[in-house]
Chain A
Amino acid sequence: EVQLVESGGGLVQPGRSLKLSCAASGFTFSNYYMAWVRQAPKKGLEWVATISTSGSRTYYPDSVKGRFTISRDNAKSSLYLQMNSLKSEDTATYYCARTCSHWYFDFWGPGTMVTVSS
């Protein structure tokens, strides 16, 4: 059974950093692109980052480019999101999602909440 479990969320002050983790199980992690998607309270979904199978290629929307870094450790079946220079508008639940070969997000984790506030 595919499982994705995010961790590392919490309350952080504006301008500070936070690193999220996603533990994957039930599939060969190294074979899949992975992504982070976020959802602000009572709002819709927003794609945040994607990483290739080896980690050599990463993709971001302009809203987080230069501040967020996606990475992975295939030996540990883990995905990460380093978030720097956090802003109040980064407050959201962050989901880890697997990207399948048909290029959609086929499995999602339950999410971890990040609140950016002083």
Chain B
Amino acid sequence: QIMLTQQAESLWISPGERVSITCRASQSLLYTDGKHYLSWYQQRPGQTTKALIYHASVRTDGVPTRFIGSGSGTEFTLSIEHVQPEDFAIYYCLQTLKSPYTFGAGTKLELK
């Protein structure tokens, strides 16, 4: 199965800073259609899990432009510019290229 590694379990940042969360796949997530089957999700207490990015770099409807997905092949990054108080949450990457679909272990953004 494809393994996804999110190296950082936690990242401590201050509001207004920029942060990058990385996700490394054990094999390329590029499909023959030219798209990467890598998506990013946000979990906040008391709220439903929210999809932020799909195909590695496409923001879902309504997601603020400060959330930026990038990367290709096996290396992917979710960047958040000018972090807002509501962005302190846990972020997961997910690959849906091949079954079994697998998530990264998650990265928690914590207030410095």
Binding site for B on A (CB under 8 A): 44-47, 50, 59-62, 95, 97, 102-110
Contacts and interface: CB of A to CB of B under 8 A. Distances in A.
Interface SS of chain B: helix, strand, loop or mixed?
loop
A106 B100 contact: no
A99 to B, nearest CB: 8
Nearest to B47: A110
B67 to A, nearest CB: 14
A44 B94 contact: no
Given A44-B92, A45-B92, A106 B51 contact: yes
Nearest to B100: A61
Given A47-B100, A109-B48, A110-B48, A104 B94 contact: yes
B86 to A, nearest CB: 18
Interface SS of chain A: helix, strand, loop or mixed?
strand
Contacts of B96: 103-104
A104 B103 contact: no
A105 B100 contact: no
A95 B92 CA distance: 15
A105 B102 CA distance: 12
A95 B49 contact: yes
Contacts of A60: 100
B1 to A, nearest CB: 8
A45 B51 contact: no
Given A105-B49, A109-B48, 15 more contacts: A44-B92, A44-B103, A44-B105, A44-B106, A45-B92, A46-B103, A50-B99, A61-B99, A62-B100, A95-B49, A102-B58, A105-B39, A105-B41, A106-B51, A107-B51
B55 interface: yes
B30 to A, nearest CB: 13
Contact of B37 (A59, A103, A106, A108): A103
B10 interface: no
A47 B54 contact: no
A103 B41 CA distance: 14
A95 B47 CA distance: 12
Contacts of B106: 44-45
